Chain A
Amino acid sequence: MINSGMRNLLDFLAKYSYWLLFVLLEAISFVLLFRFNSYQGSVWFSSANIVAGKIYDTSSKIESYFQLSKINEQLTQRNLYLEQRLAKLERDLGDSAADTAMNRSLLLQSLHPYRLIPAKVVGMSWNRRDNLLTINKGEADGVKKDMGVVCGTGVVGIVYLTSAHYAIVIPVLNSQSNISCIIQGRGYFGYLHWTGGNTSEAYVDDVPRHAHFKLYENVVTSGYSSVFPAGVMVGKILHVYNSTDQMSYRLKVELATDFGKLRDVCVIDNTALSEQADIMRAAEDSIRTRESGKAN
């Protein structure tokens, strides 16, 4: 009796074992699906692992040959623009102060805290809601988590995961991207968000209702967080909406960065700046504890 029962059970298991296998495999998939977003140790299970990185590297090298002339053209234009701007700034500076040697050292000093690490985009998606971007520089080149990434025309994103030679960046085109920016020359600030769909438009939320600005004015990074220096181009204001709670404005922005053609980027090494931010935070904390001590 027991024997036949056992045999029935075993038969049953043998017949339907694939269901168990199915449940097991699906469980593994779902664990990966839900843990990835908060799971920092999963570098190898993404396009930052060495094999995937190499393949993407090769393919992007081949692709880049076909775009060289266009990129060259862009670079030349950009160079021209920067040269003119530099000339103008130098002229202005020369007007305000006669000591040019002093000026030059001041200028260098203001650029000093940032080190730029040039990198190439080797993989990128832009058809999802949470897009990611792979670059070919990693920890070995000094890239760390939470560093800012920019390109010649504007802001790109923030480093999310790093392996030895590759890194994954959360670009603006990701629902989790949240970059603090201001309207250039006006000082009102808000947060840059992207909600899927069109890759050339994003939204700036939380702009105060009393803000004065005009359409087609530039939006730039605020520099309040140490990730990006102040004044990196974000885009142009296209349209103004009321936020859903009617408490602030929501600006539709045309992004300055063309993510479809993104190839050369720079990672901003902000080590010196983040030390500065840490010290500020420590100072604020100590003041707060003192105040609360007084209150007691």
Chain B
Amino acid sequence: MNTQLLRGVAIFVALLLVQILVFNHIHLFNCATPLLYIYVVLLFPRNIPRWMALLSGFIMGFFIDIFSNTPGVSMASTTFMGLIQPYMLVLFLQRDSADDLCPSIRSLGATRFICYTFLMVLIYCTLFFTLETFNFFNWLQWLECIAGSTTITVVLAITLENFRSK
């Protein structure tokens, strides 16, 4: 558990730096910004205590918010992701999977993992951009942002997962 936790923290710190130094400056076609740090939430193992999932989500969102001047936005969304991650994971598990299973391409299989990633990222991007614009002042741009960011984040997350599982 401890090595798992340390590995998670290390991945998060790396992704945090990449996010604030590179990804926050990317804005493809005026809509697609990668929000890759959500990848860390995807990796929570199956038997993670509920409070820990929530608290890790909260703390991660806190650091992202400080650096990108969006107080509360990613904090609220990552906390919510910490809440629903266990339910989402159960949807894509095989019946005989281990109790302490860590979601990955190897443990879930490629199709299931991609679906799981897509669903989680879609929910996250929807939450994030809803909270950010809040009053739906431009719903077309809101939809574009969600679609663009979901696509680019899923692609990056799958690529990263491929590298990690090798």
Chain A interface residues toward B at CB < 8 A:
17-18, 21-22, 25-26, 28-34, 36, 42, 45-47, 49, 52, 55-56, 59, 123, 125-129, 132, 134, 168, 196-198
Contacts and interface: CB of A to CB of B under 8 A. Distances in A.
Nearest to A18: B50
Interface string B12-38: 000001001100100100100100000
Q: For the complex, would chain A's binding face be called helix, strand, loop or mixed by DSSP majority? A: helix
Task: Assign chain B's interface to a size class.
Answer: 20 to 34
A46 B20 contact: no
Contact of B68 (A31, A125, A129): A125
A33 B76 CA distance: 9
A56 B25 CA distance: 12
B33 A29 contact: no
Q: For the complex, would chain B's binding face be called helix, strand, loop or mixed by DSSP majority? A: helix
A22 B69 contact: no
Given A26-B76, A49-B66, A55-B20, A42 B55 contact: no
A25 B55 contact: yes
Given A29-B75, A33-B72, A21 B66 contact: no
Interface of B: 17, 20-21, 24, 27, 30, 33, 50-51, 54-55, 58, 61, 65-73, 75-76, 79-80, 82-83, 131-133, 137-138, 141
A26 B80 contact: yes
A32 B75 contact: yes
B71 A17 contact: no
25 contacts: A18-B50, A22-B54, A25-B79, A26-B76, A28-B58, A31-B72, A32-B75, A33-B72, A33-B76, A42-B71, A45-B71, A46-B66, A46-B69, A47-B69, A52-B67, A55-B17, A126-B27, A127-B30, A127-B33, A128-B70, A134-B69, A168-B69, A196-B137, A196-B141, A197-B30
